[in-house]
Structure 1
């Protein structure tokens, strides 16, 4: 803002509307800054997640979501006005090239897309998308006069859309990353809501947690851009684009955003001219946009019940193909911790197995285990302690004793290693294997020799693990980023349908030092055998999934025992 004021003093020209918007945005940001200083009693310009509620109350907002939406909108306005201003001061390299016609009524003039006098947005509502697509394709701006004309003259789109309009929409989305600045310009002139009125509540809507990088609208645009890069991998790129744009459209409305989005698209799809089958496919993408990621990271992919569940849910290979691409696009648009090589591999493996079943194959043909692999099975066959490491993972093989998995997990915490994922397996010969993927320290390599030494001592009961973990938690405290919205209360869920021979036990709880150790130790103390485990850390919350059997080798079906296990686990995660 200050840079723009200085540029104005130096001769930059801003129109009256931009000046007014800049003043309004400045007032929003300045008010929040003053309230931040008063509530925190310290100087600073960073409105942290944990301070947002107090600042919102001081300013007079009902909740911090409204405050952060105002701040996000103000920031967007400032950024856009600044980009427009700097572009005028530094014209594009092709500004001196002769004008050329791009389409009827549309030209490239001085390196910018321009509407000539023959263009009539009032009678040609889809002109806005054709202009936007041309700008994105050429990586050019829409000149300000033309953008203002589009904003003032373009009518609200009719129901149904004009013929070919959905194709124009897809063409813009397929421009990928180049489309994002153009979409921002359209949104600054309220043009997207003329095309899709349902868009309005998602504009600048914050996602107040450390997991999401963007506001809802920007997240959806980034998902679309990512999906455009995967368009060649699917047979229906148009449906992938629609799934990317609409998968979180319900977040701007009350209720479960997935259910709301599915219901909304029941009217949006026909308005766009989609067939009933295509509407149903996009609705399936919206409804199940988290299915592959959640299943791949929390379920045992070697269990036929897992593969059958996903195949039965999705029903078609087309939906599966589109959902795989949407899963990657959505995850990458969420944040740095939402997608990794490990997660990508699991999703690809799950997709391949489900595709086999949907193609008519036998589920038992695709239920081989990812862990342990042949090398680990050889280590287990030797019947003694063994380990191997990579830069960010460790595999431990040892005789299977109650609490083995929990002890290894405890050693990871003791050495300050954040567990991002874990696998566990035990065989009928009395051996156990576990693999832990951890976050390497930013400043140095992991000293695996010291870690392995501690693991061996813990398994020999020669390490005061409980006492040391308490001391570490006291000295170092929480290691995860805070969120403005507190994690949900701890919960325990049992599922006997997720596996043919084990009970799925899912524990959700706020993350803290030694949490996985506490959970696994409690499971062992309650007489349960962990046959398989999946661990997922989501910033400040963990979702740990265990496939367990009772002491008799069967599922955990007794209601009294279940109730006691739940009680013990809730106590363990609250300590």
Structure 2
């Protein structure tokens, strides 16, 4: 259909004709992207022009102006219309008001969002001077109907105002962008990003247009138009998929949006969004640096000219490294630098910039990217040293790395990086994409280089530990293979290559073992010692474990986890030194445990004791005070006469009281001679989900009722489960239960991976109780929405379960959790 045909239908049929033509346009599969946005803007122009002409008659000095996104012709399916009814003040106010009603009401009648105003040019300029957002919208003013000269005059005046006021208004705009980024986060890392408001989104792209319009500075143009187009295409598809005017790409809508765009899956969609956001974010960083430089030079230049008697002073250049200098707050190439003959120069410049805490000049990075030769294989020693220096420079590494990555230098140095670049991590615990997480881990590892003997191996393993996430299968296994290749390519010797491969292969070993296994069991210590192999590797793995967790997100590390890992490392270190771990002997009860057990036998019911536990963070930095000890939870001691159903009863009562279980140990207590009866002792570490801890008396009262069957725990937890917050449309993966056959010689280890929910431990306890097995201890770990729990179980006689019985128990437990 031609635009003329659409206009005739819209004018003849009024709003219904426009609505029908609009619907047909949005349903056309052949047109999408910029052509559809332009056609939708043209169709809307024709309709609004018809409304204006019908109401304005012969009136002069009035025009209809599109501003903001509509002024740019970027109409997505559910975009609002930004309109300004401009008049010169000569028309009768009643006529202007009547005309406004004839335009606004049909728009509202169609259910379209409308941002409207009625102003004279003077009023529009005054409002723009007071409201930066209004001024930004007017920069994109486009004439629709009426007095063209009136619109053109306003445009000219607004642009002149903007350029004249740029030294004042651009810092305001930069602050506005920074505040928005603080609220909305960075588009290139968010699992549910706001395509418009997040840093690197459409608002920032518009801000870059405004900077260019000021003539004070300009954004790097390469790739910027394509990035903007990509984000607009995704927003179009999001509007069509949801039928709503939304800019937030929610998880439950990503598959549908990907299908609308013809993409393989939601991960491909997110990666495309992240790529575009990185271009916009990098362009913003470069542009705002240039704005600052220009504004500083404008402020300083008059004083220098007066001091020097006129003329333009030459910028100072301070040497930083061979071929690298600092100039005007940036790292640039020296005049004598020859990047075409110096393949190490990109790494040397990057390391110098990170060490100095300065950004790399865009011009310098692009020059190196265009002419630098590939490094030989293996790399020369200087290249490897410069990479280690770059990785060990702390937080300033991030900006420098991103500058190299923006121009493709990282993937030239490390081709395997391409598979993890902008790769999303669909795990609430992770706050970064895979590639940014690797750099964040290196930044964290830089804090620990003083506590290891080989900081170079620590930093490189931090950079590579998740490199296998770009490949199918277990990322640790794939990563080991890649790490061997990369380490050899960058010039490490055979022994160092083996250490790096081990670190990558086992980078999760310490944290998983410490939180999911019984550290008193000699088999646990032996397995870790065999995997690590040496004291030096153990030292590096300990530091890597902490750096990895800290770089993952706040839910991945705590002083409690740190203490468990430190305990494991201490035990493994002793084993590597030749101290063979002995089989644990039954420990004699403490006086308090014995008192509780005797009281439980005397009363015939449970006896409880709550005791707060605190420890300082593991190995606090020597130069900083450790501060107040961080609570590790509360130790809950329960003694109860031996009977069936203790584990599910205790777990259920704790869930009812919103207590999170961190560790759980159950054992029969050997009592002094002369005391008849058998008592179970439960030594658990618990923490309140929020609020204060419940009183021990309340816990005991509910536990008594749970054990005698008068408390409907399952029903109470079902009510809570129904109200438990979940994302609509997101189905949790099915639970998986497995047997860790070599984890212990004293018990059978059943490992459960499931979606965390109130009462999960209660359900597991009931299933284990029904299977008539005894739980010796439980090791509970929750990361985000995922629970990974390990249960050490035995048969009634206290021996590990036979293989087939253990497998049958795992299958039954898995079936129970999937119900």
Q: Shared fold (TM-score greater than 0.5)?
A: yes
Q: 1:127 to 1:368 in 2, by over 3 A?
A: farther
Is 1:108 matched with 2:356? no
User: What do residues 235-269 of structure 1 show as CA deviations (whole Å, max 9, x unaligned)?
Assistant: 11011111111111121233432222211233222
Is 1:409 matched with 2:409? no
Is 1:457 matched with 2:715? no
Counterparts of residues 388-467 of structure 1 (less than 5 Å): 388-390=610-612, 392-393=633-634, 395-399=636-640, 400-417=642-659, 419=660, 421-429=662-670, 430-438=679-687, 440-441=689-690, 444-448=691-695, 450-451=698-699, 453-467=701-715
Q: Secondary structure at the match of 2:319?
A: strand
In the aligned structure 1, how far is the partner of 2:225 from the partner of 2:705? 65
User: What do residues 524-565 of structure 1 show as CA deviations (whole Å, max 9, x unaligned)?
Assistant: 121111111011123222211111111122111162x43542
- In structure 1, the partner of 2:768 is 523
User: What do residues 424-481 of structure 1 show as CA deviations (whole Å, max 9, x unaligned)?
Assistant: 221343222142434532xx4344454554334324544221221222223x14x466
Which residue, out of 278, 302, 317, partners 1:76? 278
Which residue, out of 394, 414, 427, partners 1:209? 427
User: What do residues 52-89 of structure 1 show as CA deviations (whole Å, max 9, x unaligned)?
Assistant: 21211111101111111111111111111111111112
Greater C-alpha radius of gyration: 2
In the aligned structure 2, how far is the partner of 1:64 from the partner of 1:562? 38
Is 1:3 matched with 2:3? no
How far the C-alpha of 1:402 sits from its partner, in A, is: 2.2
Q: Secondary structure at the match of 1:498?
A: coil
Q: 1:92 to 1:316 in 2, by over 3 A?
A: farther
In the aligned structure 2, how far is the partner of 1:428 from the partner of 1:372? 8
Q: 1:414 to 1:149 in 2, by over 3 A?
A: same
Q: Is the 8 A contact 2:752 2:789 kept in 1?
A: yes
How far the C-alpha of 1:496 sits from its partner, in A, is: 4.1
- In structure 1, the partner of 2:537 is 319
Q: 1:150 to 1:373 in 2, by over 3 A?
A: farther
Q: 1:541 to 1:440 in 2, by over 3 A?
A: closer
Q: 1:230 to 1:480 in 2, by over 3 A?
A: farther
In the aligned structure 1, how far is the partner of 2:596 from the partner of 2:257? 57
- In structure 1, the partner of 2:450 is 232
- After TM superposition, the structure 1 stretch with the greater mean CA deviation from structure 2, 125-134 or 495-504, is 495-504
Q: 1:30 to 1:453 in 2, by over 3 A?
A: farther
- In structure 2, the partner of 1:533 is 778
In the aligned structure 1, how far is the partner of 2:400 from the partner of 2:661? 37
User: What do residues 90-116 of structure 1 show as CA deviations (whole Å, max 9, x unaligned)?
Assistant: 249998884321223221111211112
Q: 1:368 to 1:78 in 2, by over 3 A?
A: farther
Q: Secondary structure at the match of 2:754?
A: strand
- After TM superposition, the structure 1 stretch with the greater mean CA deviation from structure 2, 259-268 or 90-99, is 90-99
- After TM superposition, the structure 1 stretch with the greater mean CA deviation from structure 2, 240-249 or 39-48, is 39-48
- After TM superposition, the structure 1 stretch with the greater mean CA deviation from structure 2, 519-528 or 562-571, is 562-571
Q: 1:562 to 1:257 in 2, by over 3 A?
A: closer
How far the C-alpha of 1:130 sits from its partner, in A, is: 1.3
- In structure 1, the partner of 2:621 is none
- In structure 1, the partner of 2:809 is 565
Q: Secondary structure at the match of 2:369?
A: helix
Higher RCO, Cα 8 Å, sep 6+: 1
Q: 1:92 to 1:270 in 2, by over 3 A?
A: farther
Q: Is the 8 A contact 1:250 1:257 kept in 2?
A: yes
Q: Secondary structure at the match of 2:223?
A: helix
Q: Is the 8 A contact 1:493 1:505 kept in 2?
A: yes
Is 1:286 matched with 2:533? no
Q: Is the 8 A contact 2:739 2:810 kept in 1?
A: no
- After TM superposition, the structure 1 stretch with the greater mean CA deviation from structure 2, 511-520 or 93-102, is 93-102
How far the C-alpha of 1:495 sits from its partner, in A, is: 3.2
Q: 1:377 to 1:132 in 2, by over 3 A?
A: farther
Is 1:21 matched with 2:223? yes
Q: Secondary structure at the match of 2:520?
A: coil
How far the C-alpha of 1:383 sits from its partner, in A, is: 4.5
How far the C-alpha of 1:288 sits from its partner, in A, is: 0.6
Q: 1:318 to 1:453 in 2, by over 3 A?
A: same
- In structure 2, the partner of 1:57 is 259
- In structure 1, the partner of 2:199 is none
Q: Is the 8 A contact 1:216 1:248 kept in 2?
A: yes
- After TM superposition, the structure 1 stretch with the greater mean CA deviation from structure 2, 283-292 or 456-465, is 456-465
User: What do residues 370-424 of structure 1 show as CA deviations (whole Å, max 9, x unaligned)?
Assistant: x99968645655453122054754514121432222212112322344x362322
Which residue, out of 243, 249, 271, partners 1:41? 243
User: What do residues 205-227 of structure 1 show as CA deviations (whole Å, max 9, x unaligned)?
Assistant: 11122222111110100010011
Q: Is the 8 A contact 2:611 2:636 kept in 1?
A: yes
In the aligned structure 1, how far is the partner of 2:432 from the partner of 2:808? 41
- After TM superposition, the structure 1 stretch with the greater mean CA deviation from structure 2, 323-332 or 192-201, is 192-201
In the aligned structure 1, how far is the partner of 2:644 from the partner of 2:405? 59
Is 1:266 matched with 2:484? yes
Q: 1:46 to 1:411 in 2, by over 3 A?
A: farther
- In structure 2, the partner of 1:544 is 789
In the aligned structure 1, how far is the partner of 2:388 from the partner of 2:422? 23
Unpaired segments of 5 or more residues in structure 2? 1-204, 301-314, 601-606, 613-630, 671-678
What is the root-mean-square deviation of aligned Cα atoms in Å? 2.6
Which residue, out of 135, 141, 144, partners 2:353? 135
Q: Secondary structure at the match of 2:778?
A: strand
In the aligned structure 2, how far is the partner of 1:368 from the partner of 1:42? 65
In the aligned structure 1, how far is the partner of 2:746 from the partner of 2:517? 13
How far the C-alpha of 1:23 sits from its partner, in A, is: 2.1
How far the C-alpha of 1:14 sits from its partner, in A, is: 2.2
Q: Is the 8 A contact 1:93 1:111 kept in 2?
A: no
Q: Is the 8 A contact 2:779 2:789 kept in 1?
A: yes
Counterparts of residues 357-396 of structure 1 (less than 5 Å): 357-364=575-582, 377=593, 380-384=596-600, 385-390=607-612, 392-393=633-634, 395-396=636-637
In the aligned structure 2, how far is the partner of 1:529 from the partner of 1:135? 60
In the aligned structure 2, how far is the partner of 1:482 from the partner of 1:550? 42
Is 1:574 matched with 2:796? no
Q: 1:69 to 1:106 in 2, by over 3 A?
A: same
Q: 1:373 to 1:358 in 2, by over 3 A?
A: farther
Q: TM-score, normalised by structure 2?
A: 0.65
Is 1:245 matched with 2:463? yes
Q: Is the 8 A contact 2:351 2:390 kept in 1?
A: yes
Q: Figure out how many residues of one structure are paired with residues of the other and give that number.
A: 564
Q: TM-score, normalised by structure 1?
A: 0.91
Q: Secondary structure at the match of 1:19?
A: coil
